[in-house]
Structure formats: C-alpha cells, structure tokens
Structure 1
C-alpha cells in the first residue's frame, strides 16, 4: 500500500461519518500552525505548508476541487510568508515582529480584493463545473484563506477576523462534504482564533514583541 493510498484511507468512523487519515492528520497540523501563528513563531509557516500538502489529498478524495485549490494556495503563500518573516520584512528596528491593526486603506484593499476575488473565482467555478460542485462557498473559502494568510504575513491583527469569516462557511461545508474531522477541527479553530485575536489585539497596543523561533 502506497503512502497516498493509506492517507486517503479510513481511519475510523464517528457520529456516522468516516474519518480519513489525510483529513485528520492535515487538520491536526493545521491546528498546530494556527497555535504557532498565535505565538508569533516563524514555524507557523512550515506547519501551514505541511498541512496544505496533506490536505490536498483529503480534498481530492472528497472531490472538492475548490478545497484542493485552496490548499495549493496555502502551500504557495506559506512559502512566501516564511520567506518574509525569515528576512525580517515584518520586523521593527529592534528585531521584533511588528503586530498592528491595518490602516483603513489596507482594510479597504483587503475587503475589495476579497470581494472581487470571490466573484472572479466563483464565476470561474460556475463556468467550469468540473472545478467545483459547490462554486460560491468554495470560492469564498479559497479567497478568504488567501486574505487571511496575507494579513498574517503582514502582521495584521485583522488576519484573525478573516479566519473567523472563513470558519463561518468552512464548518458546515466540511460536515456536508463528509469531511467530519475538518468540521470538528474548524470548531477548535474558532476557539483558537478568538484566543489569538485577543492576544494580538493586546500586543498591538503594547508594541512589537520578539519573533519567536526565528533563531531556531
């Protein structure tokens, strides 16, 4: 049995849902990535990269092309975010990570980009049905994930709000698509997001904090 076959095999059943290994492992690593992001550790990016790599198989097995596209996007943006934090692109003069709220202009760009991106990707999914059987939710999650990760890479507190908005659609979509573990993990994401939001909010008021794990 190949590793890919094993990852897409059933791990166990719970509440009438079949839990797939790739769905479970990828989302556990995703939880770790979110926790590392809350701690402002540079290792959040390799964790997001690995999570996205594994979840590509999970969404492919569930025939969710939009989910596959989202995870491929996660992989690319994780590499970019990792490079940005390694090079100190988001650090203050004292070497600390610059956590802050976005300006109104930045918020407008994020909101407009997310709205236009969702319309464009959703239109593509509608025009090419093979890409997604649930085009608009897939497009919303696809583009919302990009917005959240870009905001995180920039050290913006708003990245937590973006993840909240993604979870609102991601939870029911995961359960309805048979990815029960993804749905369950999204609920844990919600708790971590609220906790992380509070922490970054307070730290943005106190000033920049050291980038953990940068020397590791």
Structure 2
C-alpha cells in the first residue's frame, strides 16, 4: 500500500499524493450524500477517514488522530440516522435547527475541547508541530459531525469554520489536493446549508400549525 502515499501528479506546482486525493474525493461524496440526507453518507465517511488516516499518519499526528475520531463518529452517525430516518417526510433523516441550549453546549464543548487538546499537543510536541490549529480542526470536526448525526442545520456552519483553518494548514503541510478540493467543498456546503435550512422550516411548519391556539 506504499503507492497510496506516493505522488500521483503535480498540479500548479503542488505535489498531489494518492491517499490525499482519494480520501478527499470520498469526502466530497460524503458531503454530497449528507446534503441529500442519504444514510450511506456514514459508511463513505468512514472509508474516507480510513484513507486520510493513512495519508496523515507520521506527518500530522493531530490530523491523523482526527480521522480516528471521524471513523468513530461515523459509526455513531450511521446508527443515529438508521434509527431516525423514518421521522422525515420522505423516509430520510429529518433536519432542524439546534435549540439555544444545544448551541451553547456545542460552543462550550468546542472551546473547552480545543484548549484541552491544544495543551496536550503542546505538552507532547511529537503529536503536533502546530498544536492550536490542529486542535481546533480536531475538535471542530467532532462537533460538526455530532451536529450532522443529530440532523442539525448548524452542522454546515461548523464545517465552514473548520475549513477556514483546515485549508491553509493542508497547503502548508504539502497536502495540496486537500486545499484545492475545499473550493468544491465550499460550494457544496453552501448548497447543502440552503437545502437543510429550507427543509427545517418546512419540517417546523406542521408543528406550528398543530399547536393549540
């Protein structure tokens, strides 16, 4: 499997690695499936995490560790969507906005988790040469995937915030395909955000109509 970490081709002076390219293509497919609320988004996410773990292992320990968490959360998301998919009006997962208490809990978890992981990376420099952005991406990804598993529209906002740091970090560490592909990620995130936003309003409408006067 050494060929997976070998160079596939050069694009705009950047060396494209096979594992980086394959993992991110699977990531794009995952995002598209998530947008359409297909349960298969989670097995593909798991496979993407497995490939990217191989790409990052030994170079970006925090990013490699993130992929382990991605795979664990993908299993949780698969279970959650299997359980909840019949709640939607079309046999797929129903989406909604998070409550203010859920938003506060996710923000608090993201802030506390980032500080804790960054301090761990700082104490053990072999885990990450760039502890704070690595910790931010690590924890932000967990929060985003948790929100996705729960069918929260905020999942898309969380991914955008993670990408703002993830894109330059990938370019800086030689994972150019990851940086290039996030242009497409950005478009899919915006389209997916719009779809989930509108769908959450339609899902909320029957509840409002059925509420007592």
Q: Name the TM-score, length of structure 2 as normaliser.
A: 0.92
Is the counterpart of residue 129 in structure 1 residue 112 in structure 2?
no
Instruction: Pick which of 77-86 and 153-162 moved more.
Output: 77-86
8 Å Cα contact 2:37/2:92 also seen in 1: no
Aligned length: 203
Alignment RMSD, CA only?
1.4
Match of 1:51 among 21, 25, 48: 48
Match of 2:87 in 1: 92
Moved more, 92-101 or 79-88: 92-101
Q: Secondary structure at the match of 1:19?
A: strand
Give, in angstroms, the shift of residue 91 of structure 1: 4.8
CA distance in 2, matches of 1:93, 1:37: 14
**Equivalent position of 1:204 in the other structure:** 200
- The match for 2:3 among 6, 17, 38 is 6
More helix by share: 2
> Out of 106, 109, 118, which is 2:105 matched to?
109
Q: Paired residue for 2:140, among 124, 133, 144?
A: 144
| Cα deviation 1:51-87 (Å, max 9, x = unaligned) | 00000111125x0001101111110000110011112
Distance 1:6 1:105, change over 3 A: same
Alignment CA distance shift 1:127-1:40 (3 Å): same
- Superposed CA deviations along residues 127-160 of structure 1, whole A, max 9, x for unmatched, are 0000000100000000000000000000000000
Q: Distance in 1 between matches of 2:155 and 2:25?
A: 20
Q: Which residue of 1 aligns with 2:114?
A: 118
Distance 1:93 1:148 in 2: 21
Match of 1:211 in 2: none
Q: Give SS of 2:57's match.
A: helix
Unpaired runs of 5+ residues, structure 1, are 209-216
The answer on 1:81 being equivalent to 2:56 is no
For residue 9 of structure 2, give the secondary structure of its aligned residue in structure 1: strand
Distance 1:104 1:13 in 2: 46
Aligned position for 2:63: 67
Instruction: Give the aligned partner of residue 194 of structure 1.
Output: 190
Gaps of 5+ in 2: 205-213
Q: Secondary structure at the match of 2:151?
A: coil
CA distance in structure 2 between the partners assigned to 1:93 and 1:128 by the alignment? 45
Other-structure match for 2:34: 37
User: What is the alpha-carbon distance in structure 2 between the residues aligned to residue 206 and residue 113 of structure 1?
Assistant: 29
TM-score for both structures, normalised by structure 1 = 0.91
